[in-house]
Amino acid sequence: MEYRRMGKTGLQLSALSFGSWVTFARQTDDNTNERLMAQAYEAGVNFFDNAEVYSAGLSEEMMGRVLRKLNWDRSSYVLSSKAFFGWKGLDKKPNQHGLSRKHLMEACHEALERLQVEYLDLYYCHRPDPNVPIEEVVRTMNTLIQQGKIFYWGTSEWSASEIMEAHMHAKEMGLEGPSVEQPEYNLFNRRKIEVDYAPIFKNIGMGTTIWSPLASGLLTGKYNDGIPEGSRMSLEGYEWLRDKAVVNDKLNRVKALGDFANELGVSLPTLCIAWCISNPNVTTAILGATKESQLTENLKALEVLPLITAEVKEKIDEIMGTKPVVIQN
């Protein structure tokens, strides 16, 4: 495993990490989750990602039970949660979601309880909240840090200007700004990491724990000939994702990329994950594997990483046509 510094912090994250979003939502018992987490940990994965909203709190409970059972040394892994969406679904009341001090503090306490730990290493604002002053968010996250309940705080899918505003308030108040962002990053979605955040990487330094490196599985090629039974796109409740992802224009590019992976002698998922972590501004790619065989495959991305040369990247850009265009003034 390769370990990378999370932006300018001293925290080291494994370049490949493990997330529980849809993965845990599909399990009715803890056994598969336990096997997947143990497999990841044994391969050197040290970061496990979660959120209050995943399976309405059940994902944190499952991970908490598995962590307790596996009984790893708490200092050997990094654990996260995220707040914003709440976990009470459609029944949620005004202060049971969002980024107010009330919800962030309460959601943190609930996450600690569900995960059965004393502190979170990373705590994210899962989305920006236009109804809460960013200054309030900065102050609250710093209170949680001072209370020892979280070690670092971050954002997820915030715009570059929102992140900069948080840093500005933090600087004015002598507090800590967000040290990590969690954006989507894959061969279909590149602009935030490659263009929008460029000034932040340069001027402030920020780690990134990127999500959906395989675009929810599309970039494995598994949807090229239809929707396999049991796959994420076949699940009830994920029709919105299927309609957005499984479209001919994207599938044609995935097929062409698959041919290129064959030419290189590597699998398509490993090529796509290796491409993500070949970006030096990516600290870690969070894997969403639901089976041990998928995880075994995806972890091989580290072996493929040295093959991602400038020429290979150029060829990938040509096939995908998704390299963001930057208009210089």
Q: Which residues bind ligand NDP (CB under 6 A)?
A: 19-23, 49, 156-157, 182, 211-217, 220, 222, 231-232, 269, 286-290, 294, 297-298
**Minimum CB–partner distance for residue 317 and ligand NDP (Å):** 20
- Which helix (H) or strand (E) segment is 190 a member of? none
Name every residue whose Cβ is closer than 8 Å to that of residue 197 and which is 6 or more positions away in sequence.
160, 163, 181, 183, 206, 208, 281
Smallest gap, in angstroms, from Cβ of residue 174 to ligand NDP? 29
Nearest to ligand NDP of 115, 286 (CB atom): 286
- Of the candidates 130, 119, 22, the one whose C-alpha atom is nearest the C-alpha of residue 84 is 130
Q: Which is nearer to ligand NDP, 34 or 49 (CB)?
A: 49
Q: Where are the alpha helices (DSSP H) in the chain?
A: 21-25, 31-42, 58-70, 101-115, 134-146, 160-173, 191, 198-203, 239-245, 248-264, 268-277, 292-299, 301-304, 310-320
Residue closer to ligand NDP (CB basis): 123 or 211: 211
Residue nearest to ligand NDP according to CB distances in the complex: 288
The CB-of-173 to ligand NDP minimum distance in angstroms stands at 26
Q: 6: which residues sit within 8 A by CB, 6+ positions away?
A: 12, 13, 152, 179, 180, 207, 209, 283
C-beta closer to ligand NDP: residue 21 or 153: 21
Give residue 321's region: left, alpha or beta (phi > 0; psi -120 to 50): left
Q: What is the CA angle 26-85-295, rounded to 5?
A: 35
What gap in Å lies between CA 82 and CA 52, rounded to an integer?
A: 6
Question: Least distance to ligand NDP from the beta carbon of 327, Å?
Answer: 28
Catalytic annotation on 77? no
Q: Which is nearer to ligand NDP, 14 or 156 (CB)?
A: 156
Q: Which of 3, 54, 123, 223 is catalytic?
A: 54
Categorise residue 230: left if φ over 0, alpha if ψ from -120 to 50, beta otherwise: left
User: Which residue, among 212, 187, 197, 204, has the nearest Cα to 278 in the 3D structure?
Assistant: 187
Report the nearest approach of ligand NDP to the CB of residue 329 (Å): 31
Active site residues: 54
